[in-house]
């Protein structure tokens, strides 16, 4: 298979995955915008296909691709030339999310750290009854010798509808799965990685998880608790796999368990995958929830827990750790890709290493040589001198042995490194939030990344008095006992993070501060609307309230960055709102005024009340039509504002003006800038060519913003511009038809006829015009209750007076020629002969459907010959039928491509007759700033669900910023019998006498209970001997203890030493 063929197949596969369809369903000629693919999505897709970061040339080339076939041709021709050369990149942390005790978000977590708070709390009553389990004697069987730990406020709530999960399945899902779904979404939002760019992408997921407390509670209830969802609900692999499934991420996805180093090992593996090209984005982290007493009992009996539940790392008072819970996720990218994509970078991972202690004094015993080798390997991987590392976030559990071993290793390699000018600062986040076990490593990494980002070092708590067995000064170490500014020397700030597992697997990661980047939106640039969305209406109102509060708390934040982040770097959910100034009240952007309008509009959204700047709605799956009216909407100064401010409009106008100038003596630039309305400007020969140019320019402006119609309808002379925009006529031919038609109308019959719009159905109007037979005739059918008449001026005026006397609404069209009447008959021959040479073309594949208001047929293109345009001028305009056909084909949005909205009411009336409620919007409005009107129409289109590439709407990119998290609409998902099981209130549930024996094994409970109760009189060695002997089915005798221990090959020491070994760090 050739390289180009392989690339083509990968492209089709990636697009199919993005759209969730088969490759056979793809139309390679369809415009990309119809597939919901804008430039940001296209860059990510190409990055996946070429397995590299698109370079600036690729970005420019991709911007010119209009179809999937164009993209395939470009990749086949240039391939690897479009990506940056492979490099051994560092890895950027571009997003993060966390749920830590007293730190439910990165901002709240940072506030906890810098304020020096300890989040220790009593074990919540809704977990288990600590009074049932507590005993201050750590040797008491089935007892906990601590009442404390570090807990999240709520673990029973979940928003399953957001992730398309059935409530019944959600009930059986481990809350660790639920939490990691939320955190993954929040990390991606924080990274500005919208789901629209990620579906089907090679985004990897690496999560650490250890315990299975939720499944333990389910099993304790009994076998009847097992359901079709139990397997996936409790399996560790699904913690990662469910995230990949729910978000459509196609990179490697795995859950790992190296005990308490797993969170950092997940980072190491994710970085390796990014460097190897296995993934272009990675989610990595860990989760730990303490839901049942079983795991607490295990760690208590292992000997790791502190009686007061606190980690007193590096202190003489160190006596174990406080068990904590929570989760954290970071979003990772190769640094080159993050810089190219304009991502916000918290910190950079320069290198990492993983090893295992191997055979040592004990499997759970830490090893100085292994930790030294680990740090050396990480420095080699990062290409850094150990003396450059200024701070290390230690594993630091607060066990006497663990602290001593870790400080000896750090001191030997880092603290005493040649060339070090100041002591190595060390600290441990476990003193704030406890030991999160599977999530410990990610907690340390997030703390360190935030420290680099904020350029401050938080205090490590509970460190005094210092452990006298650790020679801090001699080792070149200094515990960070106070929060301080992190000074920067001539070298970037660099830090390390340690994380160790009680099975001997160790990890060290080296971070540096992010590189300085340039690029902000200019505050004077006219912005896009402020956009918000949510999965539900209630969520949207909550999100509006949260953003309003956040804006009030952060008055110095760049409004442009807020707009940029929300518009271009967030997923747009079904329920949407847009805040955009009313074009009638605000002609130019003013940051201070806009901020006030935002706050008022967001308050209105939160409270469900009206505000002129607020547009709210629900995404709909429907089609878009452009409607091009005929003459009558013109006004002095129309288009002048857009010509000055909008590049797309200006380009389209200049092209149309040049086409008109090539077939007439008109200077449309002069007409556009005219300062007063004159008889000259009202003439058909001026007004219609200017209208043609304005309509071409408006369509160009919308196309420049990525808005392309599915259907096009033209009304009278407006059908000429419509045919050009559809691709059936060239601009030259369109200008030729328009100018000749208008010239003939101006020279023949001008001033002798007119046109009248009447609010009556044709059948009701027919008797009224019967007396004027031959002088007045039907010229157009705008809607079921609106008819256009055309004919001799005097009879028309008499009819108008009679209708008004009967209180029938009617108005004259601003034209002095009776189009679509017998007044056209003398012009048919000269018009036909004058445009005989035009060359109509087939509408390109994937182009819009053009519905004729002459024939009510869908136009292929070639039939738009000279005869057609004669009929267009003579025959009645069938707008009602064309609009009905469009709506019946699925059109639910209309934009009137005109200097003012003429046909909106008619479109509404036609829709009402069909029971439809389409969105009908103006492209321009009389006497209002064109850009402001366009911005409001864009906002309304977005709220209604029109696919849109918002990046096109910014002249300069902004900076991604952290905004309030998604407002989860959580419900209680926690079976009542599980609460009883945790408290020990049902048969077979946890209790002091029976920690975790299923009810089905009641006959064994007495024997086991007796064994456990007798353990209180045994030494640790005797107790373990008895348990091992029971497992090996041998009877312990005299010297069995020494025999079993020696024969195990694990080097267990005698009683007192064994107890100390149980104090080793996890």
Specify the pTM.
0.86
Cα 1015 to chain centroid, rounded: 55
User: What pLDDT does residue 1044 have?
Assistant: 34
Bridge partners of 594, per DSSP, are: none
User: What pLDDT does residue 52 have?
Assistant: 76
The Cβ of residue 277 has, within 10 Å, a number of other Cβ atoms equal to 12
Tell me which residue of 316, 390, 383 sits closest to 89, measured CA to CA: 383
Structure tokens at 760: 């009556």
Q: For domain 528-619+948-981, which architecture applies?
A: 2-Layer Sandwich (3.30)
Residues of the chain with CATH 3.40.47.10: 91-513
The Cβ of residue 958 has, within 10 Å, a number of other Cβ atoms equal to 25
Q: How far are the Cα atoms of 82, 113, 753, 779, 823 from residue 819, in angstroms, in the given order?
A: 55, 77, 8, 7, 7
User: What pLDDT does residue 1043 have?
Assistant: 37
Residues of the chain with CATH 1.10.1200: 3-82
Task: Report the C-alpha gap between 735 and 897 in whole angstroms.
Answer: 17
Q: How far are the Cα atoms of 269, 352, 395, 418, 456 from residue 509, in angstroms, in the given order?
A: 11, 4, 12, 21, 19
User: 378 — phi, psi (to 5°)?
Assistant: -65, -40
Structure tokens at 359: 């055979």
Q: Directed axis angle between helix 175-191 and helix 237-247, to 10°?
A: 50
Statement: 623-749+821-929+940-944 belongs to CATH 3.40.366.10: yes
Structure tokens at 980: 């009883």
Task: Report the C-alpha gap between 283 and 41 in whole angstroms.
Answer: 19
Place of tokens 């909106």: 904
Neighbour-count burial of 584, counting CB atoms closer than 10 A to its CB (0-12 exposed, 13-18 middle, 19+ buried): middle
User: What pLDDT does residue 526 have?
Assistant: 61
CB 403 within 8 A of CB 313: yes
Q: How far are the Cα atoms of 263, 503, 782 from residue 406, in angstroms, in the given order?
A: 18, 16, 83
Fold type of domain 91-513: Peroxisomal Thiolase; Chain A, domain 1 (3.40.47)
CB 386 within 8 A of CB 491: no
CB 258 within 8 A of CB 210: no
Q: What is the pLDDT of residues 1006-1021, one digit of tens each?
A: 333 333 333 344 444 4
User: What pLDDT does residue 583 have?
Assistant: 62
User: What pLDDT does residue 196 have?
Assistant: 79
User: What pLDDT does residue 181 have?
Assistant: 98
User: What pLDDT does residue 83 have?
Assistant: 79
Residues 6+ apart with CB under 8 A from 522: 560, 955, 956
CB 297 within 8 A of CB 1012: no
Strand order in the sheet with 753-758: 776-783, 786-792, 753-758, 810-812
Structure tokens at 445: 């990494």
Residues of the chain with CATH 3.40.366.10: 623-749+821-929+940-944
Task: Report the C-alpha gap between 189 and 776 in whole angstroms.
Answer: 63
Residues 6+ apart with CB under 8 A from 1016: 139, 140, 141
User: What pLDDT does residue 986 have?
Assistant: 53
Residues of the chain with CATH 3.30.70.3290: 528-619+948-981
CATH code matching the domain that covers 3-82, chosen among 1.10.1200, 1.10.10, 1.10.3470, 1.20.120:
1.10.1200
Task: Report the C-alpha gap between 353 and 272 in whole angstroms.
Answer: 10
CB 651 within 8 A of CB 919: no
Can you list the positions of beta strands (E) in 657-795?
Answer: 711-714, 753-758, 776-783, 786-792
Tell me which residue of 953, 977, 958 sits closest to 645, measured CA to CA: 953
Place of tokens 């596969």: 13
At residue 632, the 3 state secondary structure works out as coil
Consecutive sets of 10 residues in the chain, 1066 residues long: mean pLDDT of each?
Answer: 72 78 80 76 81 77 84 83 76 98 97 97 92 92 94 95 96 97 98 87 96 91 90 96 96 96 98 93 98 92 93 96 97 94 95 92 83 95 95 95 95 95 96 97 98 97 96 97 88 95 95 79 66 96 97 92 93 95 59 81 94 94 96 86 93 97 95 79 85 97 92 97 98 97 88 93 95 95 96 95 95 91 96 96 94 97 97 97 97 96 94 96 90 92 92 86 96 86 58 36 33 41 43 40 35 31 35
């Amino acid at each position: 298979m050739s390289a180009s063929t392989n690339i083509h197949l990968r492209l089709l596969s990636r697009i199919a995955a993005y759209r969730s369809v088969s490759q056979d369903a793809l139309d390679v000629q369809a415009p990309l915008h119809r597939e919901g693919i804008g430039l940001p999505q296209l860059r990510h897709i190409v990055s996946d296909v070429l397995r590299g970061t698109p370079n600036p040339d690729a970005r420019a080339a991709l911007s010119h691709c209009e179809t999937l076939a164009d993209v395939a041709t470009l990749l086949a021709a240039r391939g690897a030339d479009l990506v940056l050369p492979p490099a051994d990149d560092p890895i950027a942390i571009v997003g993060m999310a966390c749920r830590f005790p007293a730190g439910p978000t990165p901002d709240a977590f940072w506030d906890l750290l810098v304020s020096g708070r300890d989040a220790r709390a009593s074990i919540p009553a809704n977990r288990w009854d600590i009074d049932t389990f507590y005993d201050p004697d750590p040797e008491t069987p089935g007892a906990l010798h601590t009442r404390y730990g570090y807990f999240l406020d709520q673990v029973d709530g979940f928003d399953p509808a957001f992730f398309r999960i059935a409530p019944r399945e959600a009930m059986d899902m481990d809350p660790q799965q639920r939490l990691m779904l939320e955190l993954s979404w929040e990390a991606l939002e924080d990274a500005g990685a919208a789901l629209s760019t990620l579906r089907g992408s090679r985004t990897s997921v690496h999560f650490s998880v250890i315990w299975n407390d939720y499944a333990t509670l389910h099993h304790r209830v009994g076998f009847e608790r097992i359901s079709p969802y139990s397997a996936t609900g409790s399996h560790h692999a699904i913690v990662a796999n469910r995230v990949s499934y729910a978000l459509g991420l196609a990179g490697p996805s795995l859950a790992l368990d190296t005990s308490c180093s797993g969170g950092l090992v997940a980072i190491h593996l994710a970085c390796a995958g990014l460097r190897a090209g296995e993934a272009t984005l990675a989610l990595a982290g860990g989760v730990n929830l303490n839901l049942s007493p079983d795991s607490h009992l295990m760690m208590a009996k292992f000997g790791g827990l502190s009686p007061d539940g606190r980690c007193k790392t590096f202190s003489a008072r160190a006596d174990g750790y406080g068990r904590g819970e929570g989760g954290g996720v970071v979003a990772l990218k190769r640094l080159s890709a993050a810089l190219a994509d304009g991502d916000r970078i918290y910190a950079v991972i320069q290198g990492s290493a993983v090893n295992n202690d191997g055979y040592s004094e004990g499997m759970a015993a830490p090893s100085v040589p292994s930790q030294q080798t680990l740090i050396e390997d990480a420095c080699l991987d990062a290409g850094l001198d150990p003396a450059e590392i200024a701070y290390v976030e230690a594993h630091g559990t607060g066990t006497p042995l663990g602290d001593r071993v870790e400080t000896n290793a750090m001191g030997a390699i880092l603290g005493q490194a040649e060339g070090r000018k100041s002591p190595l600062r060390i600290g441990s986040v476990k003193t704030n939030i406890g030991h999160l076990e599977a999530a410990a490593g990610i907690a340390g990494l997030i703390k360190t990344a935030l420290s680099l980002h904020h350029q401050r070092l938080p205090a490590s708590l509970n460190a005094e008095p210092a452990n006298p067995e650790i020679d801090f000064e001699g080792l070149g170490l200094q515990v960070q006992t106070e929060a301080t500014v992190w000074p920067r020397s001539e070298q970037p700030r660099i830090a390390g993070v340690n994380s160790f597992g009680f099975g001997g697997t160790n990890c060290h990661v080296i971070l540096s501060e992010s590189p300085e980047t340039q690029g902000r939106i200019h505050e004077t640039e006219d912005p896009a609307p402020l956009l918000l969305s949510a999965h539900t209406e209630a969520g949207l109102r909550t999100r509006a309230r949260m953003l309003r509060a956040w804006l009030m708390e952060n008055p110095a934040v760049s409004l442009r960055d807020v707009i940029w982040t929300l518009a271009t770097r967030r997923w747009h959910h079904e329920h949407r709102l847009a805040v955009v100034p009313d074009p009638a009240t605000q002609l130019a952007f003013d940051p201070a005024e806009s901020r006030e309008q935002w706050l008022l509009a967001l308050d209105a959204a939160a409270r469900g009340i009206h505000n002129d700047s607020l547009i709210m709605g629900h995404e709909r799956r429907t089609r878009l039509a452009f409607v091009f009216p005929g003459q009558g909407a013109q006004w002095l100064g129309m288009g002048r504002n857009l010509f000055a401010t909008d590049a797309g409009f200006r380009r389209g106008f200049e092209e149309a003006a040049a086409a008109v100038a090539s077939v007439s003596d008109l200077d449309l630039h002069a007409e556009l800038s005219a300062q007063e309305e004159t008889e000259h400007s009202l003439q058909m020969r001026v007004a219609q060519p200017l209208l043609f140019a304005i309509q071409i320019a408006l369509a160009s402006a919308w196309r420049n913003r990525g808005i392309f119609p599915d259907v096009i309808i033209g009304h009278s002379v407006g059908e000429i511009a419509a045919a050009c925009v559809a691709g059936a006529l060239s601009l030259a031919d369109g200008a030729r038809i328009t100018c000749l038609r208008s010239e003939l109308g101006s020279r023949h019959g001008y001033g002798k006829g007119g046109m009248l719009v009447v609010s009556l159905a044709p059948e009701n109007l027919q008797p009224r015009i019967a007396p004027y037979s031959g002088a007045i005739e039907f010229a157009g059918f705008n809607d079921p209750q609106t008819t256009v008449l055309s004919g001799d001026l005097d009879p028309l005026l008499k009819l108008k007076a009679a209708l008004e006397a009967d209180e029938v609404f009617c108005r004259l069209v601003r034209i002095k020629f009776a189009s679509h009447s017998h007044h056209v008959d003398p012009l048919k021959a000269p018009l036909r002969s004058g445009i005989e040479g035009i060359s109509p073309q087939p509408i390109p594949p994937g182009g819009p459907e053009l519905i004729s208001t002459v024939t009510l047929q869908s136009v292929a293109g070639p039939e738009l010959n000279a005869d057609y345009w004669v009929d267009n001028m003579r025959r009645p305009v069938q707008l009602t039928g064309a609009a009905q056909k469009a709506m019946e084909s699925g059109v639910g949005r209309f934009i009137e491509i005109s200097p003012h909205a003429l046909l909106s009411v008619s479109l509404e009336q036609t829709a009402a007759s069909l029971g439809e409620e389409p969105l009908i919007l103006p492209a321009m409005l009389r006497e209002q700033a064109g850009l402001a009107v366009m911005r409001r129409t864009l906002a309304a289109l977005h709220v209604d669900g029109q696919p849109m590439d918002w990046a096109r709407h910014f002249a300069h990119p902004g900076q991604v910023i952290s905004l309030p998290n998604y407002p989860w609409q959580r419900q209680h998902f926690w079976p009542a019998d599980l609460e009883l099981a945790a408290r020990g209130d049902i048969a077979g549930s946890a209790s002091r006498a029976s920690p975790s024996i299923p009810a089905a094994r009641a006959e064994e409970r007495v024997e086991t209970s007796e064994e456990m109760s007798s353990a209180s009189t045994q030494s640790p060695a005797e107790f373990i001997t008895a348990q091992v002997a029971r497992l090996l089915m041998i009877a312990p005798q005299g010297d069995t203890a020494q025999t079993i221990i020696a024969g195990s090959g694990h080097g267990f020491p005698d009683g007192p030493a064994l107890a100390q070994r149980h104090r080793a760090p996890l």
